[in-house]
A and B are shown apart, each in its own frame.
Chain A
Amino acid sequence: GAVVSQHPSWVICKSGTSVKIECRSLDFQATTMFWYRQFPKQSLMLMATSNEGSKATYEQGVEKDKFLINHASLTLSTLTVTSAHPEDSSFYICSARELAGGYNEQFFGPGTRLTVL
């Protein structure tokens, strides 16, 4: 299957700082990328969907000013957690799909563990 990478794999930051997480499709062009977060012992929750060159669509309850998503190229999407607080500590996972329209398999990155002190 296609490969999706995330960087960094883990990050620790102080409360009030901003953190950027990168999601890259390594061997295909991703028209759509998805961002999820996962709390311990809980399921993955979709945060937002981003299409290359357009604004992200956020799920209900997700603060778009808190979680800034940029999908500037067909191989890179970034999630910036602004003014992070301890409650933002979580496991953030991205996925990417190649084609638009209809069902197409999503390929998942390995995730980024964010800890906010």
Chain B
Amino acid sequence: AQSVTQLDSQVPVFEEAPVELRCNYSSSVSVYLFWYVQYPNQGLQLLLKYLSGSTLVESINGFEAEFNKSQTSFHLRKPSVHISDTAEYFCAVSDPTGGGNKLTFGTGTQLKVEL
């Protein structure tokens, strides 16, 4: 069985400050890792993913996450946040066996960017 822990339910941060949203996972097998973002009244959108290869993955809007196998972590970072980054962020894990489409989600972190 797999599980995901997002310890921070809310993270307030000022605009242009750096932010890190933490994600730890538990799995007995190799994993695919994902970060999803959910804006108010919208569906979850894939922000970035790790399937294989480079452990550092980046999104088009400046977020990055690094897969750390020894620490079983996949923390999400952004060096300078914008007010438009305010949203709920979900970390998820899946088992590559069978395609990796069955996602196990964390409880989410609400990022609130303030002026």
Contact = CB atoms under 8 A, between A and B. Distances in A.
Contacts of B89: none
B9 A43 contact: no
Most chain A C-beta atoms within 10 Å of own C-beta, residue among B45, B101, B103: B101
A86 B10 CA distance: 28
Interface in A28-66: 32, 34, 41-46, 49
Interface string B94-106: 0010011111111
What size tier do the contact residues of chain A reach? 20 to 34
Name the prevailing secondary structure of the B interface residues: loop
A41 B106 contact: no
A8 to B, nearest CB: 14
Nearest to A44: B105
A71 B101 CA distance: 18
Contacts of B107: 41-43
Nearest to A4: B43
Interface string A105-117: 1111111000000
Contact of B51 (A44, A93, A103, A106): A103
Nearest to A5: B43
B25 interface: no
B61 interface: no
A47 to B, nearest CB: 11
Contacts of A103: 32, 51, 96, 99-101
Interface of A: 1, 4, 32, 34, 41-46, 49, 93, 95, 97, 101-111
